[in-house]
Structure 1
Amino acid sequence: MIQNLWILCSIFLILSIMIHNPKSQGMGGQNQIMNGTRSAEETLNKVTWTLITIFFVLTIYLATLSKID
């Protein structure tokens, strides 16, 4: 069960990293479209960091669980 969650988390983490737009940093426009893009990028950053945290916590948990067995 936990290993399946770990695999799903890793797949979603890879996808969220690949979705990031590398050109979004440093763009100076302040119009409505850019604000929407910036908001989507901030949300994607939060999702990515959450997935990273979950991935590392599950990795540590699975590693300690395997040492106990």
Structure 2
Amino acid sequence: MVKVLWLILNLFLILIIFVRVPNNNGLSSFDTKNNLLGSANSAEKTLDKLTWSLILGYFILAVKFNF
């Protein structure tokens, strides 16, 4: 069960990283097309928090699997 959670965490982390790196404009071009995440600045902050949370979860599970 934990390995399935770790796999899902990996996939979400990869997806978030791909969303964050499309071009130099960041999410400003995404924000003009769609107001899904609010303003570009709040979307960046939300993605930053989500990315760091997923990274922390990844490291916690990686340490758990190595012990």
Between the aligned residues of both structures, percent identity stands at 36
Q: Aligned partner of 2:24: which letter?
A: K
Distance 2:44 2:11 in 1: 19
Whole-angstrom CA distance in 1 between matches of 2:65 and 2:3: 8
Corresponding residue for 2:42? 39
TM-score (norm 2): 0.74
> Hey, which bits of structure 1, 4+ residues long, moved more than 6 A?
none
For residues 50 and 44 of structure 1, what CA distance do their matches in structure 2 show? 10
* Bigger RCO of structures 1 and 2 (CA < 8 A, at least 6 apart): 1
- Between the aligned partners of 2:54 and 2:61, the Cα distance in structure 1 is 10
Q: Kindly indicate which of the two structures has a greater share of residues assigned to helix.
A: 1
Give me the TM-score of the superposition, normalised by structure 1: 0.72
Count, aligned residues: 57
Deviation at 1:63, TM superposition (A): 1.1
Task: State the superposition RMSD in angstroms.
Answer: 2.2
